[in-house]
Structure formats: structure tokens, C-alpha cells
Chains A and B, each alone.
Chain A
Amino acid sequence: MNINLTLFGQSLTFIVFIWFCWKFIWPLLIDAMRERQKTIAEGLESAERAGKDLELAQEHATDQLRKAKDGAREIIEQARARATQMIEEAKGDAAEEGERVKLAAQADIEQDMNRAREALRGDVATLVVAGAEKILGESIDQSRHAELLKQLSGQL
């Protein structure tokens, strides 16, 4: 508890330690901390920038996607219209063709009918003549009764 030379010894020691810390400890630590602070700040900044870039890219991608969808929809629309058109065309063609086939067939049928009628007429005339010969017992002069026969077969 006595005050003695230790007082000044301690003052001196105190100054020496402060000087040592001031010159060799503190600046190194503070520099390292400041540098790290800067690095972190820069890192955060670039992260923020990257985030913004990402946002922009996403926007761009969404835009592209929407455009592509629109394009696809348009193409589908066109295809559908074209298909309808083709079907209509085909329907038209088919109807025309059917009509044509039907007409041809009708013409054939008429022709056949006419031919058959002609044949039948001939046959009937022959049969009528034959029948009339039998009934009258004499032969009918074809040339004489040609007018009559013609009338008969015309009634068939």
C-alpha cells in the first residue's frame, strides 16, 4: 500500500504498451476489418445487381413465352381455318362428282330402258301379228298393215 517508484514504473509500462498497440496491433486489425467491410459491401451490391439482372431476364423470358404462345395460337387458328376450307371444298367436289355420276347413271338407265322398250316393241309387234294371224287365220300383209302396227307398237 506504500506509494513508491512502482508508480512511475507503471506509468512507463502503460505508455509502452499503448504505443505498441497503437503501432503494431490496432492498425492491422482495423485495416483488415475495413477491408472486409468493403468486400462485403461490394458483394452485397453485386448481389443486388445480379438480382435486378435476373428480374430483367425473367421479364424478357416471360415476354418471349407470351409471344411464342400468341404465335402458336395464330398458327393453330390458321390451320383450323384452312382445314375447314379444305373440308368445304372437298364436300363441294364430292357433291358435284355425285351429281355427275348420278346423271351418267340415269342416262344409262334411260338408254337401257329405251333399248328395252324398242326391243319389246318389236317383239310385241311380232306377237300381235302372230296373234292376229292366228285369230284371222290369214297372214297379215305386213306392208299393208304397217301403219296399224306402228300405231300399236307406239301405244306400248
Chain B
Amino acid sequence: MASGTQTSAEYIQHHLTNLTYGQLPDGTWGLAHSAQEAKDMGFWAINVDSMAWAIGLGVLFCWSFGRVARNATAGVPDGMQNFVEMIVEFIEEITSNIFPYRNSMIAPMAFTIFVWVFLMNLMDLIPVDWIPLLAGASGVHFMKIVPTTDPNVTLGMALAVFVLILYFSVRQKGLGGFLGELAFHPFPKVLAPANLFLEGVTLLAKPISLGLRLFGNMYAGEMIFVLIAIMFSSGVVTFIGGSVLQWGWALFHVLIITLQAFIFSVLTVVYMAQAYDVEEEH
């Protein structure tokens, strides 16, 4: 626990609060001092920690992979290039299987999502108290280091995917074609309102499920790490039990973070392929 005077509830609450910048109750702009203050800031606030870690990890990805790409040789690749090429080939193969159309953006997009989301998920494996304690020591109240446990981040990415779905749908099928697809399926044309409702829900469900799936998995995982962390301070037996659990859960979580990053990127490609697909007969 961060300090001896906290209750477990406060500890959990502390771990689940973002470092939020927005308008404070007194009218000035600054960082929220409590979870309630952050909540009261409303929509016009920004989670500084989520953004900073997300951008930081994204920059790390662009820098390290960009360096490999610049030095990429068609000759014998070194270890890092091998590693990067392994991921590239993996994504390239999956993408070309799912997305049979010509679009040079899809594969790099899947690649970026996979690596970036993986890196963001990976932050979950850093013991939950380390960085919040360091931040606390340097005067920062809140610090959530796993951007994907923030629904803003996952839904933000899903929103971008949604915009791309709309963009490619309209570009490939024309506005009329796209709306027709929404209105004239799965029932005959006379039932257009029902079709529109069903297809509208289907369409909206894509980004929402995409964002919430990642968020839910990572949030739950983070929560379990926090709960395990509480065990460490409540006695010798729970300390040992907590250690075993921490280790076991971390091991399991390695699978989850990879899988979720993979699912997010593959589903994005699937949605893009659906945006390209010409309506099929139902």
C-alpha cells in the first residue's frame, strides 16, 4: 500500500484514478487532487498520465522500429531486425489473409496497433506500486501507467477505427451504396427502418465492443494486480500467498496482453475488410 493510513478502499480508488488536468472547482485550470475533483471536471479535461504513457510508448515504438527500418538490410539481418521482421511477417501474413484488397495502409495499421497496444498492455506487468510511488514521491498524486486500462484510450482508438470504417465504406461503395447496405439488409426493402436499426446497432457495436473488450480485459487484470498488492501488507501468510498469486497472474497476464493486442489489430483488419466487402446476399 502507498501509505499506512490508507484503507484498502482508498488504496484501490487511488490506483484507479487518472492524473487529470482540467478546470478545478475554483475556476482555475490544473491537476485534480482527488477522484471526485477529476470526475467533476467533466468532458473538458484530459488524463495526462494516459496520454503521456500512450504517446511515450508510441514514440518508443516509432523510434526503435524506425531505427531498425532505416538500417534494414536485405543481407543477413541482425537480432533486432530479425525480431522486427518476425512481427512484420506475422502481421503481413494475417492481414493478407483477412484483407484481400489493395490498400497499403491496412498492414502497417495492424502492425502499429499490435505493437503499440502490446506495449501499453505490457505496462500492466510492472508492479502496481512502483511507478505511482515514484510519482507520489515527486509530488504527483495520481499515476496510472497502463493506458489501456483507461476507457478513453481504448475507445479513442476504436473511434478512430470507426471513422476509418465509415471512410472506407463510403469510398468503396459510395454514400448511397453504404446507406443502401444498411437499409436493405437483412430484410426486404419494405422493412427499411427495421433494417436500419439492426444494421445501425451492428455498425455501432463494432467500435464499442472493440474498445470495451480491450478496456475490460486490461482493467480487470489491473484490478486483480491491485487486489493482490493489498495482500502483501496484511500479514506473512497473505504475503506469501500474494507472491505466488502475483507470479501466477503475471504469467497468465503475459498471454492476455499479447492476445488482446492481437485481437484488437485483427478485428480492426476484419472491420476494414467488411468496409471493402461488397454486400453479399443474406
Contact = CB atoms under 8 A, between A and B. Distances in A.
Interface of A: 1-11, 13-18, 20-22, 24-33, 35-36, 39
Nearest to A24: B66
B156 interface: yes
B45 A9 contact: no
Given A4-B45, A29-B84, A13 B108 contact: no
B116 interface: yes
Nearest to A17: B58
Interface in B73-100: 73-75, 77, 81, 84-85, 88-89, 92
B58 A26 contact: no
B106 to A, nearest CB: 9
Given A1-B151, A33-B89, A13 B20 contact: no
A5 B45 contact: yes
Q: Which of A2, A28, A31 is the most central at the interface, judged by chain B CB atoms within 10 Å of its CB?
A: A2
Contacts of A17: 58, 61-62, 112, 116
Interface residues of B, number: 56
5 contacts: A3-B155, A6-B18, A6-B156, A28-B70, A29-B85
A7 B159 contact: yes
Given A2-B20, A4-B47, A25-B108, 20 more contacts: A1-B16, A1-B18, A1-B151, A2-B42, A4-B46, A5-B44, A5-B46, A6-B153, A7-B152, A7-B155, A9-B46, A10-B50, A10-B157, A13-B58, A20-B66, A21-B65, A25-B69, A25-B111, A31-B74, A39-B74
Contacts of A32: 72-74, 77, 81, 85
B124 interface: no
B41 interface: yes
Interface string B146-178: 010011110111011001000000000000000
A61 B47 CA distance: 80
B186 to A, nearest CB: 31
B72 A28 contact: yes
